[in-house]
Structure 1
């Protein structure tokens, strides 16, 4: 099963013509631009690569609109693509992670989140900063970074949205009338239980209620079950940060293939 990922949204979020997940960005922008309606303000929630790209795209596509980036950080964090850190995605690192106790697993994820989560390419960070600086000098600031902030309320008003943004250090709140709110809030794996249906009862689970997965990506099942269920992705809790990367898909597929052949030969002998 290649269970894939699904958009993650803040609790209570309802998508609409004006409230999007960034996975909808390109077709939604094309649809909005096609109506010819003026876009005066767009808000993007999030501080990762997709959020920064959404900010950049909206800023370029709607040259008369103010684009506001809302995030809890002070500023965008550069992605750690240094060669030593990137070795966390090597097949050998998967072995290290898989065989580590839970505390070490968590430490590895915490230490190296910057390789994959809530980070932005440095070139894009510098490009956005240059755009802000240029606009400030020119006296027309369309690109705004609402840092150390969170969205506290979203209310539809006629054909627009009233978005309440709180500045966390002081609690001060500002209501921004906006045409678009984009949630660049990432993705999470599809629930294995939902995909398997009744068969999910056969899966063994760990102390955190996550499915138990062997090193060869085969789900651990209740005694007596002879069928094999393999996961392609969705195994970050057991196999580490490389679980969601397309660049390691071929490695995982090869490991699953080898496991299948090995088991088939064992059964035949």
Structure 2
């Protein structure tokens, strides 16, 4: 929904206001639509419409999670907002059935989410949230926003009142410090992979292209460029700081790190233990799926069939120390191989940074809540088991977060497979009821030693207790 937001509707206190409409708050909105009884919920997004990583919807690229990780299914399989119901409405259910695809294409997931975003009630695109404050007299949060016109310019100001807030502002592309000045300079061919498709044609026309980053995005960009450039004149270099172009951990038991069971276990660890554990888990979410690795190797091998090797360099274990311009059209990268202790220079015509994403800062938006916020030893927000920011007890409402809690909830925070479950946890807490009963156990792995009820008898799984609405 875009367009005007009647202020008289916003003057009435909401139960829930969502800030941002990415997949996670879209999941929350979809499940909120199915909560029995009145639940006044509204969501604001500054973009004019829903789009999910448009720069990486490369032809043939698939999700790394099964289609069951849609907006609702793992919490409510009967929801009208499921992916299967989307297919049914488009008369594509039988073709999908015969296609036997467990992992759908990214473009199809984006189309599904846009279908839902155009129909779920209470979504307001073209609305930029400026600040969130606590009003102790009214015992409500005040959410100030700016309504934007079609050109993204301010058209009107507004305010909503709500008992609870959910932050789902997502992440933003991360550009390493040595390359930041070049990426920000106009006309310099240094871009983040998030903008890949918008610049694909000029990258294909460039004499030499360097891809930096070893995750799935880097692999997909490298493969797409490789397939599109002529044999023997590929002129592509792929560099990464990791020790190898490593496959993502995708074993059945390894995937149990993306279950509610592991999330609860991780949250129960000490702050120090969580901090020590996270860096070593990079292969759970930053590796490359085996199918993409195989496709890259197959393409490289195919180009050797008539003799010779493709003009492609793949080098792991390398970091970019500094970077600068050469004349006006090229970039010089100063490289260091950490293990060898060697350094070299690489001149290239374009650079694609597949260097991941970082949580979008919300300090300015939440400045009014700063006196109430509680932080950990590293200065990060403390977040409880129910995804609520830990606030001063005088604040009777709650601020929930989505995909901003990796330091407290583990590697599953950005994973689409936990979206519906986390949304259900939040809605159960907001309503003080249990509109979405949650499973007591979700993994075969027992991640910690549990207390025993009697000799030889394992303790039963813990059930999350819904929080009573205050």
Same fold (TM over 0.5): yes
What corresponds to 2:225 in structure 1? 58
Max Rg structure = 2
Residues 230-249 of structure 1 correspond to what in structure 2 (within 5 A)? 230-249=400-419
Residues 159-198 of structure 1 correspond to what in structure 2 (within 5 A)? 159-168=329-338, 169-176=340-347, 178-198=348-368
Instruction: Determine the C-alpha separation between the residues in 2 that align with 1:55 and 1:234.
Output: 29
- Whether the 8 Å contact between 2:333 and 2:346 is mirrored in structure 1 is yes
- Whether the 8 Å contact between 1:87 and 1:93 is mirrored in structure 2 is yes
Instruction: Determine the C-alpha separation between the residues in 1 that align with 2:215 and 2:238.
Output: 11
Residues 20-59 of structure 1 correspond to what in structure 2 (within 5 A)? 20-30=191-201, 32=202, 38-59=205-226
What corresponds to 1:2 in structure 2? 168
Residue-pair matches, total: 262
> 1:19 and 1:267, CA in 2 relative to 1: closer, same or farther beyond 3 A?
closer
Greater helix proportion:
1
- Give 3-state SS (helix, strand or coil) of 2:432's partner: helix
> 1:105 and 1:45, CA in 2 relative to 1: closer, same or farther beyond 3 A?
same
Render the CA deviation track for 1:201-252: whole Å, top value 9, x for unaligned: 3211011111011111111112312222111221111111111112211111
Render the CA deviation track for 1:137-185: whole Å, top value 9, x for unaligned: 6325222112322223322222222233333414231332x22101111
Instruction: Determine the C-alpha separation between the residues in 1 that align with 2:331 and 2:236.
Output: 14
- Whether the 8 Å contact between 1:78 and 1:122 is mirrored in structure 2 is yes
1:225 to 395, 398, 402: 395
Render the CA deviation track for 1:49-101: whole Å, top value 9, x for unaligned: 11111111122233344110011334211111111111111112111111122
Q: Which runs of 5+ in 1 are unaligned?
A: none
Instruction: Determine the C-alpha separation between the residues in 2 that align with 1:267 and 1:123.
Output: 46
- Whether the 8 Å contact between 1:132 and 1:144 is mirrored in structure 2 is no
What corresponds to 2:271 in structure 1? 102
CA deviation after TM superposition for structure 1 residue 266, in Å: 4.5
> 1:250 and 1:143, CA in 2 relative to 1: closer, same or farther beyond 3 A?
same
Instruction: Determine the C-alpha separation between the residues in 1 that align with 2:299 and 2:469.
Output: 64
Residues 126-205 of structure 1 correspond to what in structure 2 (within 5 A)? 126-136=294-304, 138-156=307-325, 157-168=327-338, 169-176=340-347, 178-205=348-375
Render the CA deviation track for 1:97-120: whole Å, top value 9, x for unaligned: 111223443454355432112x11
What corresponds to 1:80 in structure 2? 249
Q: Tell me the TM-score normalised to structure 1 length.
A: 0.87
Higher relative contact order (CA 8 A, sep 6+): 1
Instruction: Determine the C-alpha separation between the residues in 2 that align with 1:200 and 1:190.
Output: 17
- Give 3-state SS (helix, strand or coil) of 2:393's partner: coil
Instruction: Determine the C-alpha separation between the residues in 1 that align with 2:380 and 2:222.
Output: 35
- Whether the 8 Å contact between 2:237 and 2:312 is mirrored in structure 1 is yes
> 1:267 and 1:134, CA in 2 relative to 1: closer, same or farther beyond 3 A?
closer
> 1:107 and 1:159, CA in 2 relative to 1: closer, same or farther beyond 3 A?
closer
> 1:144 and 1:153, CA in 2 relative to 1: closer, same or farther beyond 3 A?
same
Instruction: Determine the C-alpha separation between the residues in 1 that align with 2:297 and 2:309.
Output: 15
CA deviation after TM superposition for structure 1 residue 196, in Å: 1.6
CA deviation after TM superposition for structure 1 residue 265, in Å: 9.1
Instruction: Determine the C-alpha separation between the residues in 2 that align with 1:241 and 1:91.
Output: 11
- Whether the 8 Å contact between 1:85 and 1:112 is mirrored in structure 2 is no
- Give 3-state SS (helix, strand or coil) of 1:193's partner: coil
**Aligned CA-pair RMSD:** 2.4
Instruction: Determine the C-alpha separation between the residues in 2 that align with 1:258 and 1:25.
Output: 39
Instruction: Determine the C-alpha separation between the residues in 1 that align with 2:467 and 2:358.
Output: 36
- Whether the 8 Å contact between 2:332 and 2:345 is mirrored in structure 1 is no
2:260 to 67, 70, 91: 91
- Whether the 8 Å contact between 1:47 and 1:71 is mirrored in structure 2 is yes
- Give 3-state SS (helix, strand or coil) of 1:253's partner: helix
